[in-house]
Amino acid sequence: MRAFRHLKRLDWVLFAAVLALCLYGLVMIYSATRGAEASGWAAPSQYAKKQVLWLLVSLFAFFLTVLFDYRSLARWHLPIYLIVTALLVLVLKVGRSPTGATCWIALGGLRLQPSELAKIAVILSIAAFVARRSESVTKMGVVGRSLAIALAPVILVLGQPDFGTALVIVAIWFGALYFAGARGRHLALVLACGLALFAGMWNLGKIPEARLRSPLDKVIAAARLREYQKRRLTIFLNPQADPTGAGYQVIQSRIAIGSGQLFGRGPSHSTQGRLHFLPEQRTDFIFSVVGEELGFVGCFTMLALFFFVYWRGLRIALRAKDPLGSLLAAGAVTMLAFHTLVNIGMSVNLMPITGIPLPFVSYGGSNLLASFLAFGLLQNVRMRRDSVIF
């Protein structure tokens, strides 16, 4: 009963803002899939119903997360980390995907993406590790060991291959260490090493598949960037170079957003999204549907909600009662904000296409669950500090 009494200290205004984003998502998912029957897809109501089901599951997980003191949750970081790592290994063996990447495990009629849960495990593990060493976080040894925590999931996720999720995990580590007070030169050194590794992965992709036969070659094959990944990462510089191939999504996304003008065409009246000229319109490019159907006003309102959530989240991180709470909140905000920045950036052709969904809005149960788990950690920290924000 004592745990339930903490619920009155929940930031209900912040909670309402997140629910408003979820409502945005449900309306846009239904609208974007109208006319799907003509293409032989599932009825649009089925997408919305599945998202509602995942929303209920995510809300249950959210309230379960906030009921337990975050310090108690952090004590379980190692078992959680090991279980999620085992799932990442398992998904490489039995995982399924219709898109070529082995990312999901089938659970009855639902699909679970363990890499989404890996983000939460990394937030918990890095926060617990660094909080115990908050006074020595300026030392390179602590920075390096904290990086090792993130690297294991990153390597396994890259093997799926899922470059976008790997970037999110790296961003979580970087945000947490920066917030903890790590030296800028140490973070810059890690960033430089990461760029060198990325260059190596890029060049490994030039090795013909037929030459990769030995066990070491299999490691190389898992680490290298595929040709389609390279095209997706570079085509944003000039989408017109391949307008019917790698540049098609970006071009259609820009057309969709531009055609919405000030107030949009109205829900269910889009052409790019509803008629499926825009691929992945209910997932990675849901923001483009918002732009076409609700226009500048709809996009601005959504961005204002996201800004409010992250501004409020940063206040929670800054006012937490201990380093552990600050790092958990900072990791959660970094994860959600990075998702938002990259997703919208790729929709408007400012960033490469990496397949990162929009938190609380895009269709997809695993990402919605992970987003609410991160949000639960954020609210957990807020509820258990000494002062209350109104």
Closest CA to 256 of 280, 223, 278, 234: 278
Domain-located, residue 158? yes
Domain-located, residue 103? no
Domain-located, residue 268? yes
Tell me how far apart the alpha carbons of residues 303 and 309 are, in angstroms, rounded to a whole number.
Answer: 10
Sign of CA dihedral 98, 103, 105, 110: negative
Domain-located, residue 81? no
Tell me how far apart the alpha carbons of residues 180 and 182 are, in angstroms, rounded to a whole number.
Answer: 6
Give the residues across from 110 on adjacent strands.
107
**Cβ burial 72-101 (10 Å sphere, 16+ → b, else e):** ebbeebeebbeebbebbeebeeebeeeeeb
**Which pLDDT does position 305 carry in this prediction?**
96
Domain-located, residue 284? yes
**Which pLDDT does position 5 carry in this prediction?**
66
Residues with Cβ within 8 Å of residue 97, at least 6 apart in sequence? 103, 104
**Which pLDDT does position 362 carry in this prediction?**
93
Residues with Cβ within 8 Å of residue 180, at least 6 apart in sequence? 130, 134, 137, 323, 326, 327, 330
Number of domains in the chain: 1
**Amino acid, res. 312:** R
Domain-located, residue 149? yes
Give the residues across from 111 on adjacent strands.
106
Residues with Cβ within 8 Å of residue 342, at least 6 apart in sequence? 164, 167, 351, 354, 356
Domain ranges, residue 176: 2-71+126-383
Report pTM.
Answer: 0.88
Domain-located, residue 79? no
Q: Split the chain (390 residues) into runs of 10 and give each run's mean pLDDT.
A: 68 95 92 60 70 94 92 92 91 65 66 89 95 86 91 86 88 93 88 80 60 50 64 75 77 85 80 72 88 92 96 94 94 96 90 88 92 96 66
Closest CA to 316 of 384, 371, 372, 368: 384
Q: Coil, strand, or helix at residue 261?
A: coil
Q: Where are the alpha helices (DSSP H) in 159-268?
A: 163-180, 184-204, 215-223, 227-234, 248-260
**Which pLDDT does position 119 carry in this prediction?**
96
